[in-house]
Structure 1
Amino acid sequence: MISVTAMLGAATMYVRYKIVQIQNSRSPFLCRNFNFVSLLIGIIGCIGMGIVASFQETSVLKVHDTGALVTFVFGVIYILLQSIISYKSCPEWNKRGTCHIRMSISVLSSLAIFPMIICASLVGIGTFKCEPDEELSPYHQASAVCEWIVAFGFVTYFLTFIRDFSGCKFEDFNRTS
């Protein structure tokens, strides 16, 4: 399921890239490379998610954790860049309220990623196994909570694209190829 999610995430990022490219060609508001760099960073995050799906935590822990770190860090950078793009395209292509929501999600995710990484480092690699009698480390709990905050931030952020995507037709994408 994670592999499918990674592919759908990459597809969503590409559609968003094309939408911004078309909008920017109609009324320039952004350096063309900024949109492309944002896409590349998002794709790297999706590749990290593919690594997470391919290497189980119980078998190849270091590779799995590296993939998770890439997913979260590059994913947060992607949504921050997309928030900047949203503000730059406002008010012609986005409503200010949408921009504020996107930036709020980006900031919350950015704030959660630091304690997630720090707490996971303090717990130590490979110590996430729990026995029924064993009490979880507060660092493990904090890391897990922050991980879920970032994950829900990604899902919520992608949901803000619905309105942008609703007005698109495939013909629009062929015009700028």
Structure 2
Amino acid sequence: MAIFSHPHHHWAYVWIPVFGSFVWFGMLLAMIITWAAQGGGRYAWQDSSVPYISDIGASFLQPLFIAGCSVTSASFILSLSIERLLRHHGRLHAHLRKRERAFASLSILGAVVGGAGLILLSIFDDKNHRSAHDAFLLVFIVGVALSAIFTVVEFRWISHNYIYVRQVRIAYVAKGTIAGILIILAIAYAIAFSLQPDAGAVLEWVIAFGYTLYLLTFAYDLRLSKGVHKYELSGREPKAPPPAMSQNHVV
């Protein structure tokens, strides 16, 4: 089956994760540049020498922080939801078992939980609502981590249903690698947060910028639907290609 047989059948939703990644990366960059341009001093509510993202986000840049987190959360949830819809309609390799559909739904639920945590931690700032802020930060990290794990498992099972799925394998290996590294860094961040606040702040910035890469993997996923009509990829492919006919075969 030729996946790219309809080159004009393509929608703008492919740009949703790209836009979300651009907004997230741009917000982080603008925040750290603004802090450096102001002299790189410590805020009154800052506990470490290196500012955490939330320290800068609690300053006059809070509107930017809230807007950036909201757009990023929406694009993350939309990307997963659209991908689920494309698989349901057979424009991406479809789910053939209940477990794949279940894990797809769980990944979206994790994204909703993580996205809500991200928006709420930006609203309940580190300056005036520290306890609530830390709680919502934990919700964000756990939600996104679970969503990533569910997505990787879903993709892994999908790859067992089809023989021509190099793109799906690339997708879940990329997601699994990036998510695995970020989860390990998040564990290190949780430890450093209490023991070495400066190291924790550096790790938080690294994780945040790394999250951009994870968001971008969904642009690759959605791009695979380009040129694919409805229900084109909705059936089970054979486990192995049929044997080639012998040249000596007599009709």
**Aligned mate of 2:82, from 15, 24, 31:** 15
TM-score (norm 1): 0.75
Q: Which residue of 2 aligns with 1:146?
A: 203
Give the 3 Å change call, closer, same or farther, for CA 110–22 of structure 1 in structure 2.
farther
Deviation at 1:7, TM superposition (A): 2.1
What is residue 57 of structure 1 aligned with on the other side? Answer: 126
Summarize deviations over 1:17-64 as a string: whole Å, max 9, x none.
323444588451561212111111111000001111211111111111
Aligned-partner residue type, residue 122 of structure 2: A
Q: Is the 1:102–1:157 contact (alpha carbons within 8 Å) kept by the matching residues of 2?
A: yes
Aligned to 1:161, the other structure's residue is in SS state helix
Give the unaligned 5+ runs of structure 2.
Answer: 1-66, 232-251
Contact 2:77 / 2:112 at 8 angstroms: preserved in 1?
Answer: yes
Q: Partner of 1:161 in structure 2? A: 218
1:81-113, CA deviations, whole angstroms, 9 ceiling, x for partnerless residues? 212222222253734333222111011011111
Corresponding residue of 1:5 = 72
Which amino acid is 2:186 matched to?
I
Equivalent residue letter for 2:218: F
- Counterpart of 1:58 in 2: which secondary structure? coil
How many correspondences in the alignment? 157
The percent identity for this pair of structures is: 21
Task: Name the TM-score, length of structure 2 as normaliser.
Answer: 0.55
Kept after mapping to 1: 8 A contact 2:73/2:118: yes
The separation in 1 between residues aligned to 2:121 and 2:199, in whole angstroms, is: 21
Range with greater deviation from structure 2 (85-94 or 96-105): 85-94
| Structure with more contact order per residue of length (Cα contacts < 8 Å, sep ≥ 6) | 2
Q: Distance in 2 between matches of 1:92 and 1:111?
A: 28
CA root-mean-square deviation: 2.8
Counterpart amino acid of 1:106? Answer: A
Contact 2:87 2:94 in 1 (8 A): no
